[in-house]
Amino acid sequence: MIDIKFLRENPEVVKENIKKKFEDHKLVLVDEVLELDKRNREIKVEVQSMKAEVNQASKQIGALMKAGKKDEAMAAKDEIARHKGRITELETEEKQVEEEIQKRMMVIPQIIDPSVPIGKDDSENVEVERFGEPVVPDFEIPYHTQIMDRFGGIDLDAAGRVAGNGFYYLIGDIARLHSAVISYARDFMINRGFTYVVPPFMIRSNVVTGVMSFDEMDAMMYKIEGEDLYLIGTSEHSMIGRFIDQIIPEEQLPLTLTSYSPCFRKEKGSHGIEERGVYRIHQFEKQEMIVVCRPEESPMWFNKLWQNTVDLFRSMEIPVRTLECCSGDLADLKVKSLDVEAWSPRQKKYFEVGSCSNLGDAQARRLKIRVRDEEGRKYLAHTLNNTVVAPPRMLIAFLENHLQEDGSVTIPEVLRPYMGGTEVLIPKK
């Protein structure tokens, strides 16, 4: 959410930003906000003026009564009553107008960074760099659920009976590999100076609307019936929500945090045959990284965050690339975003395994996350987030890139301590 003062002073800049995101249907919102904002300021001036008149008249009543001018005093009282009635009407209108302004401001997109490429959707995202050599082996690589099944490591049928489509049982070596990756990712981030956190897995509605757009909320969040609670779609939500309505001393910044959580997502829509299995599911686990920092530091942290994910995957000998998200692929709260994609030898292409985002002051403005500097001045923090690793999706890349012709799967050196020293997984089938 942008600053209304910025919109008031730069309406054409805001409109141009909307056009860059190919959301022309939102252009009308800018003019509507300007009209509502004008009316809001008129109301405030009138209320202030009438309150001043009431205060002045109240002082006069005592003097008039002392002077024996009872009729004039009663007339002044009647005038005060009329003014108070009008003030009540204006304050009611003021509240309604501010609610209408807020409703529109919540869907006007954040001003994107000048470096963001302009494009309509994810098909126009721009490859930035590749890390590691993508290899296609001479032997055929089965679909990831078939690889897991050879190890007796997955049961989708039972999960379907228990919870429906989009859920899974991971079993044995595959389940252990899943946990090993999460544990390794946790320690990887701790070793890079991040503080480990296990957050709440449910959040209230005011936090939901503070951390994401309404479109994202509708597509992702599960509501707890009868409660003002939602299951988190990522731990970023509750991690940023931790600082709602807080004033952070500047000397405590940056806050660099890494969090573990299960994640729950509706995943509305049809996503194609390559996204069956455990690629796109309703429940998964994730290690996340979050930074709260000074505005001038957020570009630097953005680069550090995505590099962490690249380094993690390369340490597990998985080739990856980075993609700069174009304007039309950015959620409304994002200033800049970059996807990390892992190589799939089976598909002979890359697929997304992480997303790094700089949200500028958008979440901080909604949640009132402020910083106090040494002089006592307050300003809005910047917030950033990035996926460290999100199995079981990440397991697809891992199994495909480490699968051997005999069906075994090699374990890279960095993961062996988390697998009890195991170097190779041997299939049961």
Residues 147 and 254 occupy one common structural domain: yes
Give all strands of the β-sheet with 230-231 in edge-to-edge order: 202-203, 230-231, 222-223
Mean pLDDT of the chain: 93
Q: What does pTM read for this prediction? A: 0.90
- Whether residue 286 is found in the same domain as residue 188: yes
Please give the backbone phi and psi of residue 7, each rounded to the nearest 5 degrees, phi first: -65, -45
Domain-terminating residue out of 76, 105, 134: 105
Chain CA centroid to CA 393, Å: 19
Asked if residue 400 is part of any domain, the answer here is: yes
Residue 116 lies in a domain: no
* Helix and strand counts by DSSP (H, E) for the chain: 13, 18
| DSSP, residue by residue, 227-276 | SS-EE-SSHHHHHHHTTTT-EEEGGG--EEEEEEEEEE----S---GGGT
Look up the domain containing 72 and give its range.
4-105
* Tokens linked to 76: 């002044």
Would 138 be classed as within a structural domain? Answer: yes
Residue 153 belongs to a domain? yes
Across 279-412, the runs of DSSP E, i.e. the strands, are 283-293, 320-324, 336-344, 349-358, 370-372, 378-380, 382-389, 409-410
Q: Both 79 and 146 in a single domain?
A: no
Q: Within this chain, do residues 159 and 256 fall inside the same structural domain, yes or no?
A: yes
Structural tokens at position 397: 């890349």
Residues 188 and 86 in one domain: no
Number of domains observed in the structure of the chain: 2
Is residue 182 within 8 Å of 207, Cβ to Cβ?
A: no
CATH of the domain at 40: 1.10.287.40
Q: Looking at the domain assignment, is residue 114 inside a domain?
A: no
Same structural domain, 101 and 128: no
Instruction: Using pLDDT thresholds of 50, 70 and 90, give the confidence band for residue 272.
Output: very low
pLDDT of residue 25 exceeding 70, the answer is yes
Q: Is 346 within a domain?
A: yes
Residues 64 and 90 in one domain: yes
Instruction: Give yes or no for a contact between 7 and 106, defined as CB atoms under 8 angstroms apart.
Output: no
Q: Are residues 145 and 185 in the same domain?
A: yes
Burial of 269: CB neighbours in 10 Å, binned 0-12, 13-18, 19+: exposed
pLDDT band at 269 (very low <50, low <70, confident <90, very high): low
Question: Of the candidates 240, 176, 164, 231, which has an alpha carbon nearest to the alpha carbon of residue 207?
Answer: 240
Q: Please say whether the beta carbons of 148 and 172 come within 8 A.
A: no
The answer to whether position 90 is within a domain reads yes
User: Are 178 and 98 within one domain?
Assistant: no
Residues 99 and 126 in one domain: no
Q: Which pLDDT score is estimated for 66? A: 65
Model pLDDT for residues 224-252, shown as the tens digit of each residue: 999 999 999 999 999 999 999 999 999 99
Is the torsion defined by CA of 263, 268, 269, 270 positive or negative?
positive
Question: CB 153: neighbour CB atoms within 10 A?
Answer: 24
Among candidates 393, 395, 418, 390, which has minimal Cα distance to 147?
395
Nearest one of 366, 370, 328, 301 to 22, comparing CA atoms: 328
Domain boundary, last residue among 75, 105, 135: 105
pLDDT of residue 392: 86
Taking 60 as the threshold, does the pLDDT of residue 146 lie above it?
A: yes
CB of 235 closer than 8 Å to CB of 288: yes
Catalytic residues: 265, 280, 352, 355, 393
Q: Is 88 in the same domain as 163?
A: no
Instruction: Tell me what percent of the residues of the chain surpass a pLDDT of 70.
Output: 96
Q: Which two tokens stand for residue 303?
A: 């680069």
Do 49 and 163 lie in one domain? The reply is: no
**pLDDT exceeds cutoff 70 at 274:** no
Six-digit token pair at 64? 């008039």
Residue closest to 179 by CA, chosen among 394, 335, 17: 394
Per-residue pLDDT averaged across 78-88, rounded?
83
Among 53, 76, 105, give the residue marking a domain's end. 105
Q: CATH code at 188?
A: 3.30.930.10
pLDDT digits (tens, 9 = 90+) for 355-410: 999 999 999 999 999 999 999 999 999 999 999 999 988 999 999 999 999 999 99
Residue 111 lies in a domain: no
Which residues, including other chains, have CB under 8 Å from residue 65's CB and lie 6 or more apart? Answer: 73
Among 122-131, 199-208, 267-276, 317-326, which is the least confidently predicted range? 267-276
